[in-house]
Each structure stands twice: as C-alpha cells, then as structure tokens.
C-alpha cells in the first residue's frame, strides 16, 4: 500500500475547495490548482470561510486556522504537482475536459502517483487511459458539501490494482470520511438511487400532480433531510441535467429525464448558485406555475418516489454494484435517508417485499415502464423471502 503524504486537487470551485479543506483538516498538505489566479484565490477564500465558520462556533481558534491554511498551496501550474502522492480531479462534469486534465497531470506526476476523479457519473476507465496509468486510477466521489457529507464512493475500474484500491480506502479513512467500494457503472451507486428521487418528483410536478412545496414537504415529513427540488437546486440544475443524460444513455427509459429539468437548464436557472432553479433565491421571478408542462390526471405519493428508489437499489444489488450493507450505508451517509428506517433495503423488508412488488406493479400500470419491478424482487417474493414478516428478505431477522 502507498502512503499519502501530500495531495493535489485540480479545480478550486466549491467542490474542489471543499475537498482540499477536508484533506488539510486531517493534517496533510494540499496543492490546489485552477486555470487562473482569480479562481485559485476564490478557492482559498472558500477554505478560509469554512474555517472561519468553525471559529464563530467556538470549534477552532484563529491560530489553528492559520496553521491549517499554511498547509494549502494555491497554484496555476502543474509543475507544483511533481511531488504529490495522490491527485483528485474536481473540474466540470465534461469527460473530454477530465481526460485532458488526467493527461496533463500524468505527464508531470511520478508514476507512483495515484490519479483519481471526483466525477459523479462519467467513465473513470477512460480517464485512466488518458492519464497513462490505468492501474493507478480510481474514482473518489465526494458528496456536496464535502466538508459536511461523510460518504465517499471509492470506484475502482477493471484495471485498478488492489494496491491502488487499498490506498484509496485507507486515504479516505485517514481524512475521517466513510469509504464505500462501488463497482464502476454510469452514476455509480448513490446517483443511481437519487435518480428517481429527483426525477420522479419532477415528473409529478410537470404533470400537475402536486406543487413543488407539497412534494418537498411530503419527503421531509418522510424523513429526508431536504425535498427533491431543494436538493436539485442545491446540487445545481446543470449538474443534475448532465448526470440525467448519462444515466438515460446507460439505463434507457427507466432513467428518462423529465422535461422540466431540460426547461430549467435552457433557462439558465441553475439553482442556488445562479439565484434561481425550481425556486427563486434572488429577485428572479418565481416560475413554479409555469413548470406544469402537461397537465395529466396523475397523483403524487411518497411511494411514487420511494418505491422506484428501492427498485433501483435492488437492481444495483443484482448487478453487484455494492453489497447490501454498503447500499444501506450509502443511502444513510450519502443522502441522509432516515436512519430509523435502516436504508432502502431494510425499509423494503419492513414494508414487506410483496407489498413493494404490488406497489410497483400498480405504479407501472398507472405511470409506465420506468416502474417495472426488478427481476430479483420478483424472485425474492416467489421464494417467500418477504422481509421481516418472513424473517428473511434482503437481510435475515430473528
């Protein structure tokens, strides 16, 4: 296993700066790069603001802030990456751009340096080839905001060496985050599970089944930390739209993005960062009434959003994307799924897998094939493995 003594982060935006802050907070030095000095300075200010927030809460002294800030080196040159042990790429979600970054970093860093990407959906294998060291390449997908969210998806490719994987997992643990190993696929794990959370809610909105506020309130009452529309606005409509396109290409019509996402993207309502998305956060007009694109006689329910999330978790399990326990951990630590419900698979076991199956069949009959039940769910029900009431479902119960 390789020891990480110094890290490099490419991209000093909110995500890159947040990742850099997490690393220096653990005591490791970081080189933070962006294309120009203004972007670098914004990134450094973001890190300082995170620490100043800790000072205001009495969690840190001003002297400690300066000690941490001394560990961050801002740069516009890859020359400063010549002695880093691990690189995390955190630029825009554009595969060609990311491949170019990997190629540039790969020419400067020692062959022992591990190259990783913070992509939420794109091909890490393609980046590994561009960087010239596929065996030393992996995905390290942090969640927004990186200083707060504990989960990190560790995504090896088919060519990632065991040493690289072990090093990445150890590194994530060393910076006080929770690593979850995920098989490479479009969207990895958490974004595949969030796909119906945002997507199905948006379908209900554009059909006039319920208002955005009603849907958000229903999901927070269920126990989610924020509703799907506030979540989309916080992540960025542009990010959601690009991820939606990747998922649609990979998984077909069950992941077909709702038209309202494209409408907001074309209107440049990118969410909180632009002052408006589904909701308005500035003097931009509230357009929620305009987002009912095609009034239909459909209904909204919590089950309409949660059941397809459960179904996708079962598909991921069947595809061996992650273990049952890691799927549960990812939902709780990566999305804030209510801990008292135990994660999607435990929740399905509690409801009864036959109940979930029948619910998906009803939704499929009413709303279409994106609710088609997973074959594994069908097999479980036929085998009598119905969950808690049968003492066996996705987990065993005594």
Q: Round to whole Å and give the CA distance between 180 and 170.
A: 11
Nearest to 291 by CA among 253, 249, 320, 258: 258
Q: What does DSSP assign to residue 309?
A: H
Q: What does DSSP assign to residue 36?
A: S
Nearest to 345 by CA among 302, 374, 371, 383: 374
Angstrom distances, CA of residue 78 to CA of 34, 75, 138, 168: 9, 8, 20, 22
Retrieve residue 355's tokens: 């109940």
Q: Round to whole Å and give the CA distance between 348 and 216.
A: 22
Residue by residue, DSSP assigns 317-368 as HHTTSS-HHHHHHHHHHHH---GGGTSHHHHHHHH-HHHHHHHHHHHHHHH-
Q: What is the 3-state secondary structure (H, E, C) of 101-112?
A: HHHHHHHHCCCC
Angstrom distances, CA of residue 48 to CA of 22, 41, 51, 211, 335: 12, 10, 5, 39, 26
Q: Round to whole Å and give the CA distance between 131 and 116.
A: 10
Q: Round to whole Å and give the CA distance between 7 and 19.
A: 11
Retrieve residue 205's tokens: 């909105």
SS3 category, 75: strand
For the chain, the C-alpha Rg in angstroms (whole number) is 22
Q: How far apart are the first and last CA of the chain?
A: 40
Neighbouring CB atoms inside 10 A of 230's CB total: 21
Neighbouring CB atoms inside 10 A of 248's CB total: 17
Residue 82: half-sphere exposure toward Cβ, Cα within 13 Å: 3
Residue tagged active-site, from 25, 141, 299, 372:
141
141 carries an active-site annotation: yes
* Maximal CA-CA distance, the chain: 63
Return the active site residues: 141
């Amino acid at each position: 296993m390789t020891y990480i003594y110094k890290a490099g982060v490419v991209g000093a935006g909110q995500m890159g700066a947040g990742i850099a802050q997490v690393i220096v907070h653990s005591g490791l030095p970081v080189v933070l790069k962006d294309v120009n000095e203004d972007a670098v300075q914004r990134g450094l200010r973001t890190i300082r603001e995170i620490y100043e927030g800790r000072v205001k809460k009495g969690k840190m002294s001003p002297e400690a802030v300066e000690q941490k800030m001394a560990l961050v080196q801002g740069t516009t040159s890859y020359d400063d990456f010549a002695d880093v042990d691990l690189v995390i790429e955190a630029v825009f979600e554009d595969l060609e751009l990311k491949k170019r970054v990997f190629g540039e970093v790969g020419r400067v860093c020692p062959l022992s340096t591990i190259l990783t990407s913070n992509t939420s959906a794109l091909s890490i294998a393609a980046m590994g080839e561009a960087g010239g060291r596929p065996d030393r390449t992996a995905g390290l997908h942090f969640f927004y905001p990186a200083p707060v969210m504990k989960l990190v998806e560790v995504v090896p490719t088919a060519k990632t060496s065991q040493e690289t994987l072990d090093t990445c997992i150890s590194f994530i643990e060393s910076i006080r985050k929770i690593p979850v190993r995920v098989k490479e696929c479009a969207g990895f794990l958490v974004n595949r599970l969030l796909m119906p959370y945002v997507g199905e809610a948006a379908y209900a909105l554009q059909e006039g089944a319920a208002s955005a506020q009603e849907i958000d309130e229903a999901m927070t009452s269920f126990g989610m930390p924020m509703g799907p529309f506030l979540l989309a606005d916080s992540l960025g409509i542009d990010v959601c739209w690009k991820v939606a396109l990747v998922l649609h290409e990979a998984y077909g019509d069950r992941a077909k993005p709702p038209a309202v996402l494209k409408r907001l993207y074309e209107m440049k309502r990118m969410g909180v960062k632009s002052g408006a998305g589904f909701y308005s956060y500035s003097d931009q007009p509230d357009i929620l009434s305009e987002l009912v694109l095609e009034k239909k006689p459909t209904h909204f329910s919590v089950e309409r959003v949660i059941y397809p999330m459960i179904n996708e978790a079962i598909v991921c399990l069947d595809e061996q994307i992650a273990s049952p326990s890691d799927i549960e951990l990812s939902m709780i630590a990566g999305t804030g799924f209510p801990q008292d419900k135990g994660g999607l698979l435990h929740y399905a076991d509690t409801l009864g897998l036959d109940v979930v199956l029948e619910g998906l069949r009803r939704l499929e009959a009413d709303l279409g094939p994106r609710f088609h039940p997973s074959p594994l769910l069908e097999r479980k029900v036929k085998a009598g493995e119905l969950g808690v009431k049968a003492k066996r479902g996705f987990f065993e119960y005594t």
